[in-house]
Chain A
Amino acid sequence: MTNYVIWTLLIPLLAGIIMLFIPQRVILQRTISIIASIILLINTVLLVFQIQTEGIQKMELGGWAPPFGIILVGDMLSGLLVLTTALVIIPILIYSFSSIGVEREKKYYYSIFFFLVTGVLGAFLTGDLFNMFVFFEVFLLSSYVLIVHGSTQKQLRESFKYVLINILSSALFVIGVAYLYAVIGTLNMAHLGERIASLTEPAPILTVIALMFLIIFGLKGAIFPLYFWLPASYTAPPTAIGALFGALLTKVGIYAIFRTYSIIFVHDPAYTHTVLGVLAALTMIFGVIGAVAHKDVTKILVYNVIVAVGFVLFGVSTMTEAGYQGAIYYVIHDMIIKAALFLLIGALVTVGGTKYLKQMGGIIKYHPALGWLFLVAVFALVGIPPLSGFIGKVLLIQGGTTVGDYWIVFLMMVASLLVLYSMIRIFLQGFYGKSVLSSKEEHGTTKGLLFPISLLIALSVLLGIGAEFLYPFVQTATEVLLQPELYINAVLKE
């Protein structure tokens, strides 16, 4: 029996290492990276079907049984996120080919790209808290390199802040792990969950540690008081890198909250999950304020990343079946559509030569395909019925009303409306409006950029239409979240 779990990590790692040896051979690097990502995609599809038919997959590294060794666990939630990651990186790679520039490509761009992917996939698949810290560092270090790659003045300025924030949150992660080890005496997630579930008396210290982990993962995932670093950091690097960050990095923080708050910290949900719900609501509010206020198209988009984080966290905080399902649907949809929108906005800025809404207009006259793709992407982002954002939001609303959080549900709907307003403003002013540039004055071409964008949009449309096909997988993922015993037994008892 093939173990797809370990290959999911080995393929991008090997691809990254191989490309370290051939920095000058750009064409060869492109070929290797596209082949590796397609093999990775096939591997993850097989992994998802294997989990669906045979249950939770695990890989004991070195043959040491948990909780003594490190274990990689592929349950359906990790499986779906790993698959989405593999899907999203292919269009981003194709977009990089024509937009990133040979100078950057010769400076180990693709190697670092694949190391980042390795870190993200590892964080999704690990079953050990300290190992999760290590994988976080793997993708954070790669993201430090990518954010400053090319070292323009703006990138240097923003990366200093980005690196500082992440060093602090990594130090907090180490401290959190130390506290948890002192209280519980283990670092394996299933073992932690088992020991915390078997506590007979309330343990307030665990609530403190739970909130500390919320702060740590909130810094990575940009939730309300901790999102301040994100808007400037994600707009500094080139488009393809921004798309990679917007699609993957915050989602790892969300996944970590998902995991810890459904398996480990379930001892006092009345307090911890209420805090999560309130922070999710505030994240939505401050996200849309930023999205509506800005006149810079890239800034509007990054504030929408923050709004989406709020939506997903709200689903986690409800602890209901519908809420979890909604959150899973929404996080998958959001990874795809945010990558698409980052690439679309990148193409818009390339053509228009400016990121200020006031200075652009009438792009659709010479680039009809780009314009209509953007409109479809905006509708998908907001959740107009046949497209992908719809199912997730409906389930989130259903989950919210089940537990009676009517005010957050109301906020969510208002936030959706304002997200639509903020994005449609780009369409009306930037694409539609009066023409500012004639076709000769444009600052770049969309050659080679439209194909990856249409791949992502097609994926999003398929996700919306094929929701019924995806449903059994989401249901399997939700079962594990609702009954953490399933996860714990699969890891420890078999």
Chain B
Amino acid sequence: MEILMSVIAGILFMVGTYLILSKNMIRIVLGTNFISHGAHILILTMAGLKTGAPPLLGLEATNYTDPLPQALILTAIVISFGVTAFFLVLGYRTYKVTGTDNTDGLRGPDSYD
């Protein structure tokens, strides 16, 4: 199971990297989303996918799944959510002001002096 999940995380990273290397702003934002999905899946996988009850003490089981990575992912998800929201609005504003959503168009005279 861990191998399958690692391969899936790898595919997500691959898709994300490909999208980030494209020139369209919205594709870049989507690429960062794929990469953060990959990272979150990776945390879950790296902590082990051994079978056990959900980490709720009300369910009286002999063993539970590791609760720490779930807390880490929850934190990482809200952070990447906030950053993505900011990034989308930033992309929109940049499009409104510069009139292009092509990253080639973001080169100004200032970059070349």
Contact = CB atoms under 8 A, between A and B. Distances in A.
B20 A164 contact: yes
Contacts of A171: 32, 35-36, 38-39, 80
A220 to B, nearest CB: 15
Interface in A127-148: 130, 133-134, 137, 141, 144-145, 148
Interface string B87-109: 10011011001100001001010
Contacts of B53: none
A453 to B, nearest CB: 25
B113 interface: yes
A178 B32 contact: no
B93 A151 contact: yes
Nearest to A174: B39
Query: What is the interface of chain A mostly: helix, strand, loop, or mixed?
Result: helix
Contacts of A157: 94, 98, 106, 108
A156 B79 contact: no
A78 interface: no
Most buried by A among B86, B93, B110, B111: B110
B108 A168 contact: no
A268 interface: no
A160 B90 contact: yes
Contacts of B79: 134, 137, 170
B72 interface: yes
B87 to A, nearest CB: 6
A148 B90 contact: yes
Interface residues of A, number: 37
Interface string A171-191: 100110111011000010000
Contacts of A356: 113
Contacts of A182: 46-48
Contact of B32 (A141, A156, A167): A167
Interface in B20-42: 20, 25, 28, 32, 35-36, 38-40, 42
B55 interface: no
A175 B97 CA distance: 35
B76 interface: yes
Contacts of B1: none
A144, A171, A299 — most chain B CB neighbours (10 Å)? A171
26 contacts: A137-B83, A144-B83, A144-B90, A148-B90, A154-B110, A156-B98, A157-B108, A160-B25, A161-B106, A163-B87, A164-B87, A167-B36, A167-B87, A168-B20, A170-B80, A171-B36, A174-B72, A175-B39, A178-B69, A181-B46, A181-B47, A181-B69, A182-B46, A182-B48, A187-B68, A296-B113
Q: What are the 3 A-B residue pairs with the smallest beta carbon separation, nearest first?
A: A182-B46, A178-B46, A178-B43
